[in-house]
Amino acid sequence: MYMGTIVSYGKKIDRKTKWTEHRRNLTVRPKQQNIIRTKLPYPKIIARAAKYVLECWNRFTDEVMLNSVVVYTNQTIAVKSAEYVDKYMIKETHLDEIKAVFDLL
């Protein structure tokens, strides 16, 4: 904080947030305790050899997991289809469709 800086604390909500009238000095490095270190995301070791995103995704998922997604999605579709009059417009999903959706992600 600078000399003569007016510091006020949060008014009604928390009374803990510190607000200052002046910006901090940008020529001085922030204290080490105020620096947040983050690691950049990268694939795990088993997926580093993958050249494409889908290859990386396939190394973390298997057919059993995807079939479970298909089964539970079809259960949800069956429950929701009871609300509709035109049942011919609602169809169950298949493994290829689920893979296509995950490919889009």
- pLDDT of residue 96 exceeding 70: yes
Q: What are phi and psi of 20, to 5 degrees?
A: -120, 160
Count of structural domains, the chain: 1
**Domain contains 1:** no
Tell which wins on pLDDT, 12 or 94. 94
Q: How far is CA 77 from CA 13, 62, 95, 104, in A?
A: 44, 23, 15, 21
Q: Which domain holds residue 76?
A: 7-104
Give the pLDDT confidence score for residue 22 in this predicted structure: 74
Lowest mean pLDDT: which of 9-18, 26-35, 56-65? Answer: 9-18
- pLDDT of residue 40 exceeding 90: no
- pLDDT of residue 7 exceeding 60: no
Tell which wins on pLDDT, 83 or 9. 83
Tell which wins on pLDDT, 79 or 14. 79
Partnered with residue 7 across adjacent β-strands are 20
Model-wide pTM > 0.75 = no
**Domain contains 58:** yes
**Domain contains 81:** yes
The DSSP code for 24 is P
Over the chain, what is the mean pLDDT?
Answer: 76
Q: Please tell me the distance from the alpha carbon of residue 15 to that of residue 8, in angstroms, as a whole number.
A: 9
